[in-house]
Structure 1
Amino acid sequence: MNARKSIATARRIVVKAGSSSLTTPQGRIDADRIDALVDVLAARRATGTEIIFVSSGAIAAGLGPLGLTRRPPDLATQQAAASVGQGLLVARYTSSFARYGVGVAQVLLTADDMIRRVHHRNAQRCMAQLLNLGVLPIVNENDAVATDEIRFGDNDRLAALVAHLTRADALILLSDVDALYTGDPRQPGARRIDEVRTSADLGGIQLGGSGRVGTGGMVTKVEAARIAGIPVVLTNAASAAAAIAGEPVGTYFHPDTRHRSTRHLWLAHATTGQGRIVLDPGAVEAIVQRRKSLLPAGVTGVEGDFAAGDPVDLCGTDGRVVARGLVNYDAGEIPDLMGRSTRWLARELGPEYEREIIHRDDLVVLTTDEEARA
């Protein structure tokens, strides 16, 4: 059976368009490009398929009104541009989809909405009800309030996590490149890759950034395909209709059969450790092989400046990162806890210290058992 048939028969599809697919060469929102993409989405939706659209472009839409000629480098001005541009962007989509009698809704998400259980359930219920009411959700990161520490970093990973959130059947990633190549497609010798079945198919591939306005590149798109765990097609906006119909365009990523929660996927792929905690061999074995919580007794060192609730990397004495988790203590508190049992800490310091450094529900292993033993 043609593997891409799963795209053609998908009941619910997440489509992500990057800034480069929606803007002019000068970085301004291109109304004609938006209309062309809406034509494709509305046509597929008319067949009974539910569409969730993840759209970049808020910052780009805000550049003109603010008199900016290019994407600002500082976070505060990016947030300001997003605040101005998000309304303009959604207004443009509202007008374009109205040509087909399709109502749209703006859904702005932050990383907290993926990892905090209450936020996650609320977002899930909202998206489900919008689809039940026949409304097409237009999703973007809430750039106006997201900081460097809590943002997804790009909408490719956001789209993959939204696919989990909505239990979608397929993910289409639209870029300014028509497929994944072994190198820069503008250079001679670069070969197009039609399918990716396992990570072994990516060996020797040079993944570099390509966006003119956005933040993503091939690295984030491949990472998104790994996160999604469902059929994924990577192609350009011009091939959107063919991709969404299951035709052989772009690069098709076969689904990963492993099941991981959205929370763990976010920890593994959409966060950066704000510091490091060094573990003794016993703690490494307990976390990697037995999936246990990290207790103070197994900690031998701490690096960096982080606060309780931050993601931190866990590494062995050789410096190899084996896991990442949300820590329960500030960095300055941990040295006094190292090597101690939780029972001793509770007796000497109080009952509030009878807790894990990181609970196993807030941990994701980043290495295999064999790698940890090597």
Structure 2
Amino acid sequence: MSSEQAHRPDVASAVRVVVKVGSSSLTLPGGGIDVSKVDALVEVLAAARDRGRQVVLVSSGAIAAGFPALGMARRPRDLAGRQAAASVGQGILLHRYEEDFARHKVTTGQVLLTVEDLVRPKSYRNAWSTLGKLLALGVIPVINENDTVATGEIHIGDNDRLAALVSELIRAQALVLLSDVDALYTAHPSDPSARRIQRVDDVEALDVDTSRSGSRVGTGGMTTKLEAARIATASGIPVVLADSGDALAAITGQDVGTYFVPSTRRRPRKLLWLADAAAPQGEIRIDVGAVHALRDRKASLLAVGVTEVHGDFQAGDPVLVIGPDGRTEGRGIVSYSHDEVREMRGRSSAWLAREMGQGASREVIHRDALVLTRRRRPSADKKPAPTGEGPVGQPAPAGERAAGQTAPAADRSRS
């Protein structure tokens, strides 16, 4: 790889940076805070702020810091136990941050968020305003998932995803993901043939083994970090995944870890919200012809391609679009309620015009309100780049080809 590729000027020059650190990079293997690790991280972030950079820290570690203080022998698995540990550990962790940053004459501010805070318009605006003001005042916000009050939100990858959403929220210029894994590899790091992937041009085209990558004290595995990278790069934000011990090199754009190239075609903020933060209110299942129309022709979803409707949604709600193989094809803002879509499913545009009038919308989901999350199969002559030497990709599963070999949804009807 050339030195030009290895150097990351967009990361090095980023003024507003989000740094996410995982539990295992802050705590001891058996739980509790690892003071030396926290001290080292704080020194790097304080120095970055002193050089004029605006730093937001998304920190895991509350549960891992808290469960030993409650006399628990291991990280709790039940929701109530995790929430209790988070309640205690959040205070312990924040106190450590406050003391360490104070030695560098840096003020910190605690911000607890859930994904819902980044979905509701009023909460979104409040979070944006608060974080912007803190950064303008030279404060380093310390953000964590609000584990104490969250319910289904406490699961693998919350803070990885949260860091990416926060990066979108504050319009960050770089996202640095720090963990106990020093990079993305072509195979599991324990495999002797595994090679570090230095640069990824397309997160969704990766062909790597992300299994067995979770930490003993944290909940985030490599899969969740790739999802965070996908979210951020789609917003035009470069991402670096690196070992927490390489924090200084990562934040200054050196050749450590794995660098994810930002997209040059940023989606509108409405679609970013739809793809990454909005909670689906239902599911619309479609046939192979509709899959072909959506993915290959960039068409709107018509009623004729709908086979099943699940959930209790209203017009304007976000829903999942599910293909015939059960995999999610995308997310969209539906034009009709669940009852209306059930009545319309499988019907042709001619039938809709007769029954609902010529002025009725034909689209169940308009293409401008649809985000596809499952990729088209690359052309046969487009082969993956060599592993470890640039972008790493894989063709889509062979089964996806079937969608493109059937008649378009608009050509079929049960009317």
Residue 126 of structure 1 deviates from its aligned partner by: 1.2
d(CA) in 2 for partners of 1:41, 1:13: 10
Q: Does 1:301 align with 2:308?
A: yes
C-alpha RMSD of matched pairs (Å): 3.5
Aligned residues: 367
What SS does the corresponding residue of 1:118 show, helix, strand or coil? helix
Q: 1:90 to 1:263 in 2, by over 3 A?
A: farther
Q: 1:271 to 1:236 in 2, by over 3 A?
A: farther
CA-to-aligned-CA distance 1:128-175 (integer Å, 9 cap, x gap): 111111111111111122222697842112111111111111111111
The answer as to whether partners of 2:305 and 2:345 remain within 8 angstroms in 1 is yes
Q: Does 1:321 align with 2:328?
A: yes
Q: Does 1:276 align with 2:280?
A: no
Q: 1:152 to 1:125 in 2, by over 3 A?
A: farther
Residue 337 of structure 1 deviates from its aligned partner by: 6.0
Aligned match of 1:42 = 46
Aligned match of 2:17 = 13
The amino acid across from 1:157 in the alignment is R
CA-to-aligned-CA distance 1:177-229 (integer Å, 9 cap, x gap): 11112222233222222222234873244444231111111111122122212
Counterpart of 1:82 (choices 71, 82, 86) is: 86
The answer as to whether partners of 2:210 and 2:223 remain within 8 angstroms in 1 is no
What SS does the corresponding residue of 2:70 show, helix, strand or coil? coil
Residue 270 of structure 1 deviates from its aligned partner by: 6.1
d(CA) in 2 for partners of 1:77, 1:50: 35
Counterpart of 1:255 (choices 249, 255, 262) is: 262
Q: 1:217 to 1:318 in 2, by over 3 A?
A: closer
The answer as to whether partners of 1:152 and 1:271 remain within 8 angstroms in 2 is no
Q: 1:319 to 1:176 in 2, by over 3 A?
A: closer
d(CA) in 1 for partners of 2:302, 2:115: 26
Aligned match of 1:234 = 241
Q: Does 1:197 align with 2:201?
A: yes
The amino acid across from 2:38 in the alignment is I
Residue 63 of structure 1 deviates from its aligned partner by: 0.7
Aligned match of 2:411 = none
The answer as to whether partners of 1:311 and 1:325 remain within 8 angstroms in 2 is yes
Counterpart of 2:250 (choices 243, 250, 259) is: 243
Aligned match of 2:59 = 55
The answer as to whether partners of 1:279 and 1:299 remain within 8 angstroms in 2 is yes
Q: 1:355 to 1:94 in 2, by over 3 A?
A: farther
Aligned match of 1:365 = 372
Moved more, 334-343 or 134-143: 334-343
Q: 1:299 to 1:68 in 2, by over 3 A?
A: same
Moved more, 49-58 or 274-283: 274-283
Quick one: percent identity of the two aligned structures?
54
- Structure 2-normalised TM-score? 0.76
Aligned match of 1:118 = 122
| 1:138-287 paired onto structure 2 within 5 Å | 138-148=142-152, 153-199=157-203, 202-229=206-233, 230-261=237-268, 264-265=271-272, 267-269=274-276, 276-279=283-286
The answer as to whether partners of 2:118 and 2:277 remain within 8 angstroms in 1 is no
Residue 247 of structure 1 deviates from its aligned partner by: 1.8
CA-to-aligned-CA distance 1:243-281 (integer Å, 9 cap, x gap): 112221111222222312455445535678676322357
Residue 124 of structure 1 deviates from its aligned partner by: 1.1
Residue 12 of structure 1 deviates from its aligned partner by: 1.3
- Which consecutive unaligned segments of at least 5 residues does structure 2 have? 378-399, 406-415
Q: 1:260 to 1:76 in 2, by over 3 A?
A: farther
The answer as to whether partners of 1:323 and 1:363 remain within 8 angstroms in 2 is yes
Residue 50 of structure 1 deviates from its aligned partner by: 0.8
d(CA) in 1 for partners of 2:250, 2:53: 14
The answer as to whether partners of 1:160 and 1:228 remain within 8 angstroms in 2 is yes
| 1:66-105 paired onto structure 2 within 5 Å | 66-105=70-109
Q: 1:205 to 1:254 in 2, by over 3 A?
A: same
What SS does the corresponding residue of 1:106 show, helix, strand or coil? strand
d(CA) in 2 for partners of 1:342, 1:109: 44
Aligned match of 1:351 = none
The amino acid across from 1:232 in the alignment is V
The answer as to whether partners of 2:157 and 2:221 remain within 8 angstroms in 1 is no
d(CA) in 2 for partners of 1:33, 1:373: 52
What SS does the corresponding residue of 1:65 show, helix, strand or coil? helix
Aligned match of 2:412 = none
Residue 315 of structure 1 deviates from its aligned partner by: 2.6
CA-to-aligned-CA distance 1:98-138 (integer Å, 9 cap, x gap): 11111111111111222222222221111111111111111
The amino acid across from 2:9 in the alignment is K
d(CA) in 1 for partners of 2:204, 2:167: 24
Residue 334 of structure 1 deviates from its aligned partner by: 5.8
d(CA) in 2 for partners of 1:71, 1:278: 39
